[in-house]
Amino acid sequence: MKQEIRNIAIIAHVDHGKTTLVDGLLKAGGVFSEHEEVATCVMDSNDQEKERGITIYAKNAAITYNDTKINIVDTPGHADFGSEVERVLKTVDATILVVDAYEGPMPQTKFVLKKSLEQGKKVLVVVNKIDKDSARPKWVIDQVFDLFVKLGATDEQLDFPYMYSVARDGVAMKEVEDERKDITPLLDFILEHVPAAPQNVETDFRMQPATLSYDNFLGRIAVGRVHEGTMKVNQTITILTPTGARRTGKISKLFTFKGMQRVPMEEVSAGDIVAIAGLGDVFVGETITSNPDAEPLPAIDVDPPSLAMYFMVNDSPFAGKEGKYVTSRQIRDRLEKELETNVGLHVEFDSGSGDSMKVLGRGEMHLAVLIETMRREGFELQVSQPEVVFRDIDGVQHEPIENVTISVPEEIGGKIIEMMSTRKGQMTNMKTENSITNLEFEIPMRGLLGIRSNFIILTKGEGTMFSSFAKMAPHVGDIEKRQVGSLISGENGTTTGYSLWKLQERGPLFIGAALEVYEGMIIGEHNQGTDLTVNPIKGKQLTNVRSSGADDAINLVPPVVVTLEKSLEYIKEDEYVEVTPSSIRLRKKHLKEIDRKRDR
């Protein structure tokens, strides 16, 4: 008899504890040897995932419990990586919706639940972090129920099973008051409520890749669920596109998952989640089949990208000094390779002029992760201000609208409402409890660009703000922008402490002393809201030197650290971010003041 299989995806808003919960399941599944030192969030294996403390890519693992194989897909909770979630839902029969025991449903909870319900998946709810002092698990269950109702769940879906957990301690409980012993209640819960995967092997093989990865030895690897049938290594197969076009290929290696590893197999069969190597040109959503006349599986639709920016060859005076790959050809090839696996990404190679390409993604973080990856690989490039992508629907220009949830100290609530309404945000909910005000808005994505730094200043860092794609809606009209201006170097040379000391009263600086700058480089923000060309390389006039005295002491405020994300948020339409393996610089498109004046 075949081993039973259960396929689940863990979904949630960012930080609600998905990856930590998977740690617990892996440990219970005997994935680690007894004395092994196990790190936390072991599934977050990518460098940027570890550094940012978030999941970026959906990943597979599998454990065996009571002779049943459980395939587990960990998914990212950040809104920018929502397309990862949408795709892997196709590979599972049920989702575990993890919800923070204090926060309750957040924007991305709504997004991933909506996608699960739309695809008719069974949803199991786990209220996590019930160890928090502020935890209110019963309230959270009510809120989740309301969300199911709002999203139009069927009666059957509304009757969702739920339980509680402290993922960090590796424990799960049926009731809040139950003993917090281990994770087995969750494993039993999965076996009880997740339908067994159908294993029809008496028919032709059909499998649909949901994610792609790249392996230096094996080339492209397609991961997905075997819909039906069986497949052996070295078998010749047909790849069907969703529109019915076909081509042939040969499978060189087959894998299933065990723990976090891919295990080579001679044969794979219906119901399991597998990885296939040897098909160098297969794409997400195509159908791999043993029968050339088989029906393609339904296409996998993901929401289209909502944010675009231009990637260009760096043409600053410092171009080519720090990067290994700098040409337009190299950038183009790299983007082409990225498109093979990064399904939420689009590139219009010929939409820019000359050396620029339009890159479209799901949000600032999605694009920033790509740029950061490229720079770590040795790329040097220049990028433009991110812009929202509009879409023509039935002759009407539409724009992306986001759901935003904001939580701030009560006394700032008014200011936040004002900030959101000047950006065309519509308040949909407001509640104050224990001097914390929770606000919900629908707002055009345009209105959110560049808002985060403003939000941090307004709340002095004591607030949270989350957003997630809600819908496309007709363009809501112009949004007034805050006037920001830059301090721009008018010189080529090395900065001096003396000149920066004079300049720092004009606004926060992005650079320190003894740094090479060029004419047209942005060295700080001008607090008057207009661009100002300045001289940061001036030395102190020797004739003014006083022999002694404390008034000579230069007190330089430490420069503002401009990270990639901050730069993308900061730049205006006439500015670029210059990205190299060792630096991030901001610059004006026109380096000379006279050209900027002419262009105004």
In the DSSP assignment, the letter for residue 325 is: B
Of 18 and 446, nearer to Mg ion (C-beta) is 18
Token pair of 73, please? Answer: 């897909």
In the list 5, 25, 31, 54, the residue contacting ligand GTP (rule: CB under 6 A) is 54
Of 79 and 503, nearer to Mg ion (C-beta) is 79
In the list 19, 157, 208, 306, the residue contacting ligand GTP (rule: CB under 6 A) is 19
Of 49 and 578, nearer to Mg ion (C-beta) is 49
In the list 8, 15, 342, 525, the residue contacting ligand GTP (rule: CB under 6 A) is 15
Token pair of 247, please? Answer: 């081509």
- The least distance separating ligand GTP from the CB of residue 31, rounded to whole angstroms, comes to 16
Yes or no: say if 206 and 180 are a contact pair by the CB < 8 Å rule. no
Of 77 and 447, nearer to ligand GTP (C-beta) is 77
**CA–CA gap between residue 493 and residue 515 (Å, rounded):** 8
Token pair of 424, please? Answer: 């065309």
567 binds, among Mg ion, ligand GTP, none (CB under 5 to 8 A by kind): none
Of 55 and 289, nearer to Mg ion (C-beta) is 55
In the list 16, 122, 358, 587, the residue contacting ligand GTP (rule: CB under 6 A) is 16
User: Using the rule CB under 6 A, is 362 a contact of ligand GTP?
Assistant: no
| Strand boundaries in 389-497, DSSP class E | 391-393, 396-409, 426-433, 436-444, 464-474, 485-489, 493-494
382 binds, among Mg ion, ligand GTP, none (CB under 5 to 8 A by kind): none
User: Using the rule CB under 6 A, is 42 a contact of ligand GTP?
Assistant: no
Place of tokens 């709002």: 150
Of 85 and 371, nearer to ligand GTP (C-beta) is 85
**Which H or E run contains 434?**
none
- The least distance separating Mg ion from the CB of residue 18, rounded to whole angstroms, comes to 5
**CA–CA gap between residue 67 and residue 416 (Å, rounded):** 54
In the DSSP assignment, the letter for residue 402 is: E
Question: In Å, what is the CA distance from 59 to each residue of 56, 127, 334, 551?
Answer: 9, 22, 23, 60
In the list 12, 61, 503, 537, the residue contacting ligand GTP (rule: CB under 6 A) is 12
Q: Which residue is nearest to ligand GTP (CB)?
A: 77
128 binds, among Mg ion, ligand GTP, none (CB under 5 to 8 A by kind): ligand GTP
Of 14 and 412, nearer to Mg ion (C-beta) is 14
Yes or no: say if 574 and 599 are a contact pair by the CB < 8 Å rule. yes
In the DSSP assignment, the letter for residue 259 is: B
* Contact flags string 268-307 toward ligand GTP, x per CB under 6 A: ----------------------------------------
Of 46 and 527, nearer to Mg ion (C-beta) is 46
User: Using the rule CB under 6 A, is 137 a contact of ligand GTP?
Assistant: no
Of 81 and 283, nearer to ligand GTP (C-beta) is 81
Place of tokens 């199911």: 148
In the list 55, 287, 384, 486, the residue contacting ligand GTP (rule: CB under 6 A) is 55
Site for ligand GTP in 59-88 (CB under 6 A): 76-78
Q: Using CB under 6 A, which of the segments 129-137, 265-273, 456-464, 572-580 binds ligand GTP? A: 129-137
Q: Does the CA dihedral 363-365-369-372 come out positive or negative?
A: positive
In the list 5, 11, 14, 276, the residue contacting ligand GTP (rule: CB under 6 A) is 14
User: Using the rule CB under 6 A, is 26 a contact of ligand GTP?
Assistant: no
Number of Cβ within 10 Å of residue 426's Cβ equals: 13
208 binds, among ligand GTP, Mg ion, none (CB under 5 to 8 A by kind): none
- The least distance separating ligand GTP from the CB of residue 101, rounded to whole angstroms, comes to 8
- The least distance separating ligand GTP from the CB of residue 369, rounded to whole angstroms, comes to 12
- The least distance separating ligand GTP from the CB of residue 16, rounded to whole angstroms, comes to 5
Of 8 and 451, nearer to Mg ion (C-beta) is 8
Yes or no: say if 314 and 518 are a contact pair by the CB < 8 Å rule. no
Q: Does the CA dihedral 432-438-444-450 come out positive or negative?
A: positive
**CA–CA gap between residue 30 and residue 38 (Å, rounded):** 12
Total residues binding ligand GTP (CB under 6 A):
21
**Which H or E run contains 501?**
helix 497-503
* Strand partners for 163: 126
Concatenate the DSSP letters of all residues of 539-562 into one string.
PPPGGG--SS-GGG---PPPPPP-
In the list 90, 121, 122, 129, the residue contacting ligand GTP (rule: CB under 6 A) is 129
Residues near Mg ion, by CB under 5 A: 18-19, 55
Q: How many helices (H) and strands (E) does the chain have?
A: 15, 34
- The least distance separating ligand GTP from the CB of residue 408, rounded to whole angstroms, comes to 21
Of 55 and 356, nearer to Mg ion (C-beta) is 55
Of 14 and 62, nearer to ligand GTP (C-beta) is 14
**CA–CA gap between residue 192 and residue 204 (Å, rounded):** 30
Yes or no: say if 122 and 94 are a contact pair by the CB < 8 Å rule. yes
Q: Under 8 Å CB-to-CB from 459, ≥6 apart: which residues? A: 408, 409, 412, 416
Of 113 and 335, nearer to ligand GTP (C-beta) is 113
User: Using the rule CB under 6 A, is 322 a contact of ligand GTP?
Assistant: no
16 binds, among Mg ion, ligand GTP, none (CB under 5 to 8 A by kind): ligand GTP
* 137-150 and 107-118 helices, crossing angle to 10°: 50
User: Using the rule CB under 6 A, is 5 a contact of ligand GTP?
Assistant: no
166 binds, among ligand GTP, Mg ion, none (CB under 5 to 8 A by kind): ligand GTP
Site for ligand GTP in 151-180 (CB under 6 A): 166-168
**CA–CA gap between residue 181 and residue 60 (Å, rounded):** 26
Of 116 and 382, nearer to ligand GTP (C-beta) is 116
User: Using the rule CB under 6 A, is 398 a contact of ligand GTP?
Assistant: no
**CA–CA gap between residue 349 and residue 368 (Å, rounded):** 19
Q: How far apart are the first and last CA of the chain?
A: 75
HSE on the CB side for 596, CA within 13 Å? 20
424 binds, among ligand GTP, Mg ion, none (CB under 5 to 8 A by kind): none
- The least distance separating ligand GTP from the CB of residue 56, rounded to whole angstroms, comes to 8
| Strand boundaries in 174-235, DSSP class E | 206-215, 219-228, 230-232
Please choose, from the candidates 380, 473, 458, the residue with its C-alpha nearest in 3D space to the C-alpha of residue 425: 473
Token pair of 388, please? Answer: 């929202």
**CA–CA gap between residue 371 and residue 359 (Å, rounded):** 11
**Which H or E run contains 262?**
strand 261-265
Query: Which residues of this chain interact with ligand GTP, rule CB under 6 A?
Result: 12, 14-20, 41, 54-55, 76-78, 128-129, 131-132, 166-168
